[in-house]
Amino acid sequence: YIFNCQSWVTSCAFSKFHPNIVLGGTYSGQIVVWDTRTNKRTPVQRTALSASSHTHPVYCLQVIGTQNANNLISISNEGKMCSWNIEMMTQPQESMDLAYRTKPVAATRMVFPGVEVNNFIIGSEEGQAYSGSRHGNKAGIQESYEGHFGPITGLFYLR
């Protein structure tokens, strides 16, 4: 398949729950959806350019959850995490500003350990990693881990 997009694609994800869908995060902050069942090279769905979603490049996408309850999580280097219903991408279901001790985090990568849907780890442009949670009384980033002198470009969780 060859797909086209009006903005540069900065991240890509596949969903084991939607095998015909290819998701793309763009430099403009939009998230686009291609469907391999159609003959279209252009996205069949795209998010609106809106302050309630991303306004900076989307550098990481991850589908989390189960067959019956799943979401697309996106992060951008403006320091925002959004949760989306893949079936209806008109606006995020939730959004969270990513900050550590009131300082915005320019997020570049994320991972949800194992089958986890609440706790996450984020890599940043300044080389720090952060851990946090999406829900609960401690929602947001709780911990910071130093160790890199450049942007974190990959995060993986090994069991």
pLDDT tens column, 63-111: 999 999 999 999 999 999 999 999 989 999 999 999 999 999 999 999 9
Dihedral over Cα of 11, 52, 16, 139: its sign: positive
pLDDT in tens, 28-71: 999 999 999 998 999 999 999 888 899 999 999 999 999 999 99
Nearest to 42 by CA among 51, 33, 29, 50: 33
Tell the burial category of 131 from Cβ atoms under 10 Å away from its Cβ (0-12, 13-18, 19+): middle
Summary count for the chain: helices (H), strands (E) = 0, 14
Predicted TM-score of the model (pTM): 0.92
Within a 10 A sphere around the Cβ of 71, how many other Cβ atoms? 20
1.50.10.150, 3.40.190.290, 2.130.10.10, 3.40.718.10: CATH of 9-145: 2.130.10.10
Q: How many CA atoms lie within 13 A of 104 on its CB side?
A: 11
User: What is residue 18's predicted lDDT score, i.e. its pLDDT?
Assistant: 92
Residue 115's pLDDT is what?
A: 83
- Distance from C-alpha of 104 to C-alpha of 66, rounded to nearest angstrom: 31
